[in-house]
Chain A
Amino acid sequence: MQSVISISGVSKTYASGFKALEDINLEIRRGEIFALLGPNGAGKTTLISIICGIVNRTAGTVLVDGHDIGRDYRTTRSLIGLVPQELTADMWETVFNACAYSRGLFGKSANPGYIEKVLRDLSLWDKRDAKSRQLSGGMKRRLLIAKALAHEPRILFLDEPTAGVDVELRHDLWEMVRRLRDDGVTIILTTHYIEEAEQMADRIGIINGGKIILVEDKAELMRKLGRKQLVLELRETLSELPSQLDRYKLERSEDGKRLTYIYDTKAERPGIASLLRDLDAAGIGFRDLDTEQSSLEDIFVGLLREKQ
């Protein structure tokens, strides 16, 4: 698949000597939703800022739709819309004028009809004459999205889009992101909410300490790193595990009423079928069983621990 953004060898060292990014190589595919996942201070915002032209890079090249972000900045920047993490908007500007300003700034001729459509899509049309300082936090967030969409970008960066946003609005945002993707807009979102990446993204990149640790299809990532957990509720209290079950590395709860078995889908450890047979042979009966798939959150935490 064709890359819409290709980042090669990008690094950033701030004047203070702090290395925010080290030798980043990353390809973003056209039309996908890419989630850049990482803890605070991992370098997510710095990477976005470099692509958008807000921060100068120390080394490396970035191509947007085949154009160099330095030499062809006019082309690359007019393709990109950016929704920043901080709620920053001109306090005295009205919602409509703020969007019209953004559209002009990005080199598009005035188009009140289009801005109306964007504002309606974001349920901001009723607030078009309100000043930004009169808006609630959630509405400010939507205003920033409207401003970013005002010039009809083909690539949209959402930097922590749902930080401090209530559940209802979060779902509205996800809905909007999917609609944009259906229109062919490439979306890159940064987040430290794993739920968000899990629900939204086609692919996931994990960044930590200024380095990309891993880039993978979400489904593939879940399959490769996903673990399953089997919990058995025992019929009778078990004081000690019989030695023939050693190879399963079972975990016995303190009260002896529950056994937990962790297995992965790569099947490096014996499957549940043989475990159940062996339990039967050992005369251990169970009332109930429960299996659980590990979430992206568990994978993420596991990965970060592994790298440290």
Chain B
Amino acid sequence: MNQYALWAIYKTEMARTFRTLLQSIVSPVISTSLYFVVFGAAIGSRIQEVNGIAYGAFIVPGLIMLSLLTQSVANASFGIYFPKFTGTIFELLSAPVSYLEIVIAYVGAAATKSIVLGLIILITASLFVPLHIEHPFWMVAFLVLTALTFSLFGFIIGIWANGFEQLQVVPLLIITPLTFLGGSFYSIDMLPPAWRTISLFNPVVYLVSGFRWSFFGHADVGVGISLAATLGFLVVCLAIVGWIFRTGYRLKN
């Protein structure tokens, strides 16, 4: 293990966050607060409890997931796309680092950032609504697992992307709609049966559901299924990353 390289990449990536503190941390916190004002206070006051939980509290796990997914993908994709764009990637490719080390450093840094962000949003949320976390261990486990999985997914997008437009397209056209339709703001039990069935094809449903279970002990789908789905997606992403490095796809040609 080239631990000096791991640390060098990790440190540089984290330093990049502090250079863009406003964009990386402040803006997600502001937008989350806006969601609380709009959905929690304005609309939420007219909605009865959902599954015995006050609506304001009910949306907290979904909101954290929304930021966690979009920020993980954005951080990780930008982190690896930027050296490709400026040409500094040559140094990474010519360095005595293994593919595994590159992935651990970049994905680790991106995941760290989104986990910190998730915790900040959690603290912000607790200022608006009283929160009680039923299964703190599983809450952290889902947080870490989701951050890692989607950072890995973002890493893949960053390598695949050939321009800034492509870099934006996947988060904008796939992640955001899936998150909004994945039960962030509602229980899928509230949907008509047909839409409920369709929702079960949305992977984000399992993430939000599992995460919400760790808060309130109640879930739309079984927590075991949630965990399995998240791990499944992680394995798929790992396989794709493995293939990318084995073939040198869009890196060494």
Contacts and interface: CB of A to CB of B under 8 A. Distances in A.
Given A14-B253, A54-B252, A105-B9, A74 B4 contact: no
Nearest to B98: A74
Given A56-B248, A105-B9, A77 B253 contact: no
Nearest to B6: A104
B48 interface: no
Pick the most buried of B87, B91, B92, B98: most chain A CB atoms within 10 A of its CB. Answer: B91
B2 A54 contact: no
B8 interface: yes
Interface in B172-226: none
A55 B96 contact: no
Contact of A147 (B5, B83, B91): B91
Contacts of A88: 86-88, 90
Contact of B90 (A78, A84, A101, A107): A84
Contact of A102 (B2, B15, B83, B91): B91
B96 A77 contact: yes
A174 interface: no
Contact of B97 (A90, A101, A105): A105
B93 A53 contact: yes
Interface size class for chain B? 20 to 34
B239 interface: no
A67 B83 CA distance: 29
Interface residues of A, number: 37
Contacts of A78: 96
Contacts of A14: 253
A106 B96 contact: yes
A101 B95 contact: no
Nearest to B248: A56
A93 B12 contact: yes
Pick the most buried of B2, B7, B15, B88: most chain A CB atoms within 10 A of its CB. Answer: B88
B46 interface: no
A97 B87 CA distance: 18
A80 interface: yes
B23 interface: no
Interface string B92-122: 1111111000000000000000000000000
5 contacts: A56-B253, A76-B96, A77-B95, A88-B90, A106-B4
Given A88-B86, A106-B96, A109-B4, 17 more contacts: A52-B93, A54-B94, A56-B248, A56-B253, A73-B96, A75-B96, A77-B94, A77-B95, A77-B96, A84-B90, A91-B86, A103-B8, A104-B7, A104-B8, A105-B5, A105-B91, A105-B97
